[in-house]
Amino acid sequence: CGKKEEPAAPAAPAPAAAAPAADKLKVSFMYVSPIGDGGWTFQHELARKAIAQKFGDKIETSMVESVPESADAERVLRDMAGQGNKLIFATSFGYQEFVQKAAADLPNVKFEHATGYKQADNVAVYDTKTFEGAYLAGIVAGSMTKTKTVGVVASVPIPEVVRNINSFVLGAQSVDPSIQAKVVWVNEWFAPPKESEAATSLINGGVDVMYQNTNSPAVLKTAEERGVYAFGKDGDMSAFAPKAHLGSAVIDWTPYYSKVVEDTLAGKWQSGNFWWGVKEGAMDLVKIADQVPQEAKDKVAKAKQGLKDGSFAVWTGPIVDNKGQEVLASGVVGDDAFLRGINFYVKGIEGAVPG
Ligand code: GUN
């Protein structure tokens, strides 16, 4: 009983405090751009904070930002595992091979790869239907363009991005089928100066409403300077361009991250392939500008309702590519396999998908 009175040695944590810490599920996130990007990574970071709050002392989260899609990524993943993380989210497409390599050596760690397509026993893939947000933004663009020419600053040429470009244009053409579109590729996810240059060249080419698939608000800021319109993507970017901003197509990763943590804590984590959208509360078009006509706002609300109740799908035929080839016949809805393989531009888009 004398032991009780002894003060604890300062360096040694009391067993009572150490035990729960050891039980905590350690969860880590790897990001391709800075958390301050205002878009893609910012939004993953918001979700990380949301689950940290929700699960309290059951989990301990951490993140590493600005990790390139190179061997650096594999090193970071292995380091995260070495630090005791048992659930790791890798949140950029180009991490795919590095996730596969690290996961093969670390069977006791669960990996979640955003937007990839390669699964393994300990690798699940997940994505958000960003093309639904692009389509909703397209409706607004179609109602606001005066030059009848919209534009997209595109990032990395993968099906997801090509699908988003097309979906934006399909939305615009649902308002006016004569609308044309231009695309400039920057071949990176996060490159504000390049994003801005690409936006400038679109504007110089007659584009007056822009969308982007890059991570920063650079396109919006350029639109603001040049007196044209643009959208926020992934995060709410309204604050970056009060005059140019027409709406933000926002991803909420929180519902999915909550589900994964819940499953992991319950010992029920499984590899899978999840693709949530407007219906599941993962995607929305928010902060539609006051200057957008009520008719366009109503059209957005109707499309959103249709996506929620399943009565509407963005990729419903007839859809024709920009070479005049029918890609979906009248009334046919593109299934997931079709959507994941889109490698053409729809009618009205100038140029060709980079080979
Ligand atoms: N990495 C950074 N941004 C993105 C994005 O929009 N999509 C994918 N797949 N990866 C990203």
CA 5 to centroid of ligand 1, rounded, Å: 57
Residue 225 structure tokens: 């300077």
Contact of 350 with 182, CB cutoff 8 Å: yes
pLDDT value of residue 22: 59
Contact of 210 with 223, CB cutoff 8 Å: yes
CA 286 to centroid of ligand 1, rounded, Å: 20
Instruction: Give the number of the atom of ligand 1 that is nearest the alpha carbon of residue 33.
Output: 2
105 CB-contact burial (10 Å; exposed 0-12 / middle 13-18 / buried 19+): exposed
ipTM of the modeled complex: 0.96
Contact of 51 with 59, CB cutoff 8 Å: yes
Instruction: Give the number of the atom of ligand 1 that is nearest the alpha carbon of residue 233.
Output: 6
Q: Report the mean per-residue pLDDT for the chain.
A: 94
15 contact partners, CB below 8 Å, separation of at least 6: none
CA 81 to centroid of ligand 1, rounded, Å: 23
Q: What is the mean pLDDT of residues 90-95?
A: 98
Contact of 307 with 132, CB cutoff 8 Å: yes
CA 285 to centroid of ligand 1, rounded, Å: 18
- Closest C-alpha residue for ligand 1 atom 1: 92
100 contact partners, CB below 8 Å, separation of at least 6: 118, 120, 123
The pTM score is 0.93
Residue 165 structure tokens: 């470009």
pLDDT tens track for 153-182: 999 999 999 999 999 999 999 999 999 999
CA 167 to centroid of ligand 1, rounded, Å: 17
Q: Any residues with Cβ below 6 Å from ligand 1, and which? A: 32, 40, 92-93, 115, 160, 189, 213, 215
Residue in 45, 65, 93, 211 to alter for ligand 1 test, most ligand atoms within 8 A of Cβ: 93
- Closest C-alpha residue for ligand 1 atom 6: 213
CA 11 to centroid of ligand 1, rounded, Å: 44
CA 129 to centroid of ligand 1, rounded, Å: 12
pLDDT of residue 2 exceeding 70: no
pLDDT value of residue 23: 84
**Any idea which of 11-15, 42-46, 131-135, 188-192 has the lowest mean pLDDT?**
11-15
pLDDT tens track for 223-278: 999 999 999 999 999 999 999 999 999 999 999 999 999 999 999 999 999 999 99
Instruction: Give the number of the atom of ligand 1 that is nearest the alpha carbon of residue 127.
Output: 9
pLDDT of residue 151 exceeding 90: yes
Look at residue 249 and give its three-state secondary structure: strand
Question: Nearest 5°: phi and psi at 256?
Answer: -70, -45
Instruction: Give the number of the atom of ligand 1 that is nearest the alpha carbon of residue 114.
Output: 9
Q: Render 195-224 in DSSP notation, one character per residue.
A: HHHHHHHHHHTT--EEEE-SSSSHHHHHHH
- Closest C-alpha residue for ligand 1 atom 11: 92
CA 189 to centroid of ligand 1, rounded, Å: 6
Q: What is the mean pLDDT of residues 270-287?
A: 97
